[in-house]
Amino acid sequence: MPRRLPLQLRLAVFAATIGIAVGVAAALVHRSQGSAAQPSPLRAQITWAAGAKQAPGLALRDQSGATISLKSLRGRVVLVTFLDSKCVRECPIEGHVLGDVFRRMKGTGAVALVVSVDPWADTPGSARRFAARAGWSDSWRWLLGNRAALAPVWRAYNIGVKRTPGDILHSAALYVIDPSGDLRAGYLFPFSADSVTHDVQRLAAGT
CATH number of the domain encompassing residue 74: 3.40.30.10
**pLDDT at position 16:** 45
| pLDDT confidence bin for 48, thresholds 50/70/90 | very high
Cβ distance 141 to 112 under 8 Å?
yes
Greatest CA separation for the chain? 57
Confidence at 3, pLDDT banded by 50, 70, 90: very low
Tell me the percentage of the chain whose pLDDT exceeds 70.
82
> pLDDT digit string (tens) for 175-202?
999 999 999 999 999 999 999 999 999 9
Classify residue 9 by its DSSP letter: H
Backbone angles phi, psi at 7, to 5 degrees: -55, -45
Task: Identify the domain containing residue 153 by its residue range.
Answer: 46-204
Structural domain contains residue 64: yes
Please list the residues that pair with 167 across neighbouring strands: 164
pLDDT 10s digits, 145-156: 999 999 999 999
Does residue 105 belong to any structural domain of this protein? yes
End-to-end, the C-alpha distance of the chain in Å comes to 46
pLDDT at 14: 41
> Is 39 part of any domain?
no
Q: Is the pLDDT of residue 4 over 90?
A: no
Question: What pLDDT is attached to residue 38?
Answer: 65
Mean pLDDT for the stretch of residues 2-10: 44
Q: Which pLDDT does position 88 carry in this prediction? A: 87
Asked whether residue 172 is domain-assigned, the answer is yes
Distance CA 106, CA 111 (A): 9
Helix axis angle for 90-104 and 124-134, nearest 10°, is 70
Radius of gyration of the chain (CA): 17
pLDDT tens, residue by residue, 12-34? 444 444 444 444 444 433 332 33
